[in-house]
Amino acid sequence: MTETINYDELNRQLVQYKVGITAAELHGFIVGILAGGNHDESWRPLVEDMLNNGQTVVAPLNEKITKLYQLTKQQLLDENFEFQLFLRDKDLYAQIDDLVGWVNHFLLGIGLVQPKINRIKGDVGEAIYDLRQIVNLGYDEQEDQQELEFAFEEIKEYVRITSMLCFDEFNETEITPTIH
């Protein structure tokens, strides 16, 4: 995908407009909404409610959020599995914090669109359970840096795959009717 959004720039805008979440958390929420099967414009009020108590988001930030939504949707629909989590690319501890916030907001987003998510069985049910456990992740700064980095990469990949699994589960693909 050629278009991208700069994490730090979006984060600065969220702080500037006094929105109390990070870019990672916003992305997790949007992915949760999409993974839950939402495809119409009702995603906007959900995001506005979370960000701004239901009030319209200021134009510059709204444009960036719309672009993030569109790029994320493209990634999730892509057959080459381009979808990536939107996290800082520096400092392992900041990335871990971003991942936990991302997962927490993903669960919030998917829960709003799929209110019976707790009753889902099978692979998706187990994956949702695992995500709830990941939200409780912590770390000790005395831990071996290489081991912690390896564990983080493994968990991040699991979250990425789980997000795509949920998207596939709750988003029906259009089947072209066979003409006889």
pLDDT tens string 40-78: 999 999 999 988 877 788 999 999 999 999 999 999 999
Q: Is residue 180 part of a domain?
A: no
Q: Is residue 175 part of a domain?
A: no
Alpha-carbon gap, residue 80 to 119, rounded angstroms? 30
Q: Is residue 179 part of a domain?
A: no
Res 27: pLDDT = 98
Res 72: pLDDT = 96
Q: Is residue 42 part of a domain?
A: yes
Stated pTM of the model: 0.91
Alpha-carbon gap, residue 91 to 50, rounded angstroms? 27
CATH number of the domain residue 68 falls in: 1.20.120.740
Residue 20: both structure tokens together: 């109390």
* Domain region containing 132: 7-170
Task: Give residue-wise pLDDT tens across range 100-130.
Answer: 999 999 999 999 999 999 899 999 999 999 9
The rounded mean pLDDT for the chain is 90
- Quote the number of domains for the chain: 1
Residue among 100, 80, 79, 70 nearest 3 (CA)? 70
Res 52: pLDDT = 80
